[in-house]
Structure formats: C-alpha cells, structure tokens
Amino acid sequence: MDGIIFGKNSVLEALIAGDREINKILISKNLHSDTKLNTIKELARQNGVTYQFVAKEKFQEYSGYNHQGIIAQISPIKYTDLDKFLENKYQNDALVILDGIEDSHNLGAIIRTCVCAGVRGIILPSRRNVLINTVVEKTSAGAINHIPIIKVNSLVNAVQKLKNKDWWIIATDASAKDNYYNIDYCNMNSVIIMGAEHTGVSKSLLKLSDFVVKIPMMNNFNSLNVSNAFSAIIFETLRQKLNNLNN
C-alpha cells in the first residue's frame, strides 16, 4: 500500500510539513467534522490539494489499515543524504542510528519519540532494516514529516564519517557495564545506536562506539521493547540538557 497515508494525524502532518506532493485526499462522508478535519480542509485549500468526500464503501480496500475514514495519495518521503546533512552546524545535538529494526510499529514509534525529543535525524541502513512504509507512517502519527530520514548503504561508513565530524557514538547493549544515565550527554553531539529486536547492535558498530551502555533491568526479565528502551535513553539526554541550561 505504497503512496497512501492513513488517518487524520498523518494527513494533517503531511500538509503542515508541505514538502511532499499530495495528489488527492479522500474523506469518508461518515467522518464527523472536528478541528483536525477542518484544519486539513483549510490547509488543502490553501495549498491547492484536492479533497473529496466519498462513500465509506470506498475505504473497503484499505480495511486492513487503521484509516479512520481519511486517506491521502502522496509521494514517498524523500530520504536525506548524510553528507548533505553533515554540512550543517550542530551543537549539543542528537542523532539516532537504527541497526536492523524489523518491526514497522517499532520504527514508527521511534520516529515519533525522536520528533518529541528534538532528535535531529534518523539514520537507517538501506538493507536489513524496515524502511518507511504505510504502517511506519501511521504509527509515527505524522512525525515522519518533521525529521530527516537518512538512508545509507553502510552504517560502518556512516559512523566513521560522524566520528570524523566529532560526533560521539553511544551504542546500547544489554551486556554493557555502564548504565545509560551515567554518560554526560551535555556539550557534545551524540549518536545513539539502537539494535535489532533480537540480535542487538552489530559487533562492527559496537567496536566503533565511544560508549556502550545498558538500561538496568529488574526482575531478570531482560526484554524491553526497543522503542521503549529508546524512549528511556533519549529523554535522559534531554533531561540532562534541559537541567544544564537551567544551571
């Protein structure tokens, strides 16, 4: 189901971001009007995007998706080039590398958390990782439109480039000695590497990392979902940075 996004949030955020071509918006006649829907219609009018009210039967072919009575036909997201991304100046910023995330819901949730936490970009390998698809777009609640997604052929090369530009590399690993909150995330640009759901961060990336950290686990139940693990870590970096600003 490429080229389609589902749900009010996804459509609204794509309109707000404004950098993707929206061919047409279809709205179910049964959909109740609310602030979000009115904003969607207003933004569509302003940007010359057609919207159309259709019978709810028209949505039958999308029944496997949580479409909430609204979809848009849209151009794919544009991936960002790493070299171009690194031309900008960064200070005390954060980047995320996802090393082999397989689940679309996890990727969507991580993208959403990244935007909430002010992460500057997300790096994905072009193979061995789920890429942006309809489910990712929906789970991200439109966040996908507000953060550069950088696709690279080799994560090892990407990390080397980042190190050359003085980014600090922090990988997560369940068997690490250091807890994630014992790193000082202030006064540096940091790259957080999250690994695949089952296999974790690959050895070649662990070797290149400046720090390897874990989240302490209670109960011998060592099985935190990757998006929830990421959330704990990224908001700790934000806590430190905001505390630092206030001192």
Cβ closer to its own copies: 134 or 227?
227
Cβ closer to its own copies: 33 or 219?
219
Task: Give me the least distance between CB of 230 and its own copies, in Å please.
Answer: 8
φ, ψ (nearest 5 deg) of residue 169: -105, 120
Cβ closer to its own copies: 3 or 118?
118
Instruction: Give just the sign of the alpha carbon dihedral 100, 104, 110, 112.
Output: positive
Task: Give me the least distance between CB of 70 and its own copies, in Å please.
Answer: 16
Which stretches within the chain are classed as H helix? 8-17, 35-46, 82-87, 104-116, 134-139, 155-164, 203-208, 226-246
Task: Give me the least distance between CB of 113 and its own copies, in Å please.
Answer: 5
Task: Give me the least distance between CB of 24 and its own copies, in Å please.
Answer: 25
Which stretches within 89-225 are classed as H helix? 104-116, 134-139, 155-164, 203-208
Task: Give me the least distance between CB of 191 and its own copies, in Å please.
Answer: 18
Q: Which of 21, 47, 84, 232 binds its own copies (CB under 8 A)?
A: 232
Task: Give me the least distance between CB of 219 and its own copies, in Å please.
Answer: 5
Residues between 104 and 163 that touch its own copies (CB under 8 A): 105, 109, 112-113, 115-118, 141-143, 146
Alpha carbon dihedral 206, 95, 239, 10, in 10-degree steps, equals -130
Cβ closer to its own copies: 131 or 238?
238
**Choices 22-30, 41-49, 156-164, 239-247 (CB under 8 A): range interacting with its own copies:** 239-247
Residues between 212 and 231 that touch its own copies (CB under 8 A): 215-219, 221-225, 227-231
Cβ closer to its own copies: 188 or 238?
238
Q: How many CA atoms lie within 13 A of 171 on its CB side?
A: 22
Cβ closer to its own copies: 55 or 232?
232
Which amino acid, one-letter code, is at 75?
S
CA distance 177 to 148: 32
List Cβ neighbours of 126 (8 Å cut-off, separation of 6 or more): 151, 152, 153
Alpha carbon dihedral 225, 227, 230, 234, in 10-degree steps, equals -150
Give the pairing of strands 121-125 and 22-28.
Answer: unpaired
Residues between 161 and 220 that touch its own copies (CB under 8 A): 179, 181, 215-219
Cβ closer to its own copies: 141 or 193?
141
Tokens 């829907």 correspond to 37
Footprint of its own copies (CB under 8 A): 9, 105, 109, 112-113, 115-118, 141-143, 146, 179, 181, 215-219, 221-225, 227-232, 234-236, 238-239, 242-243
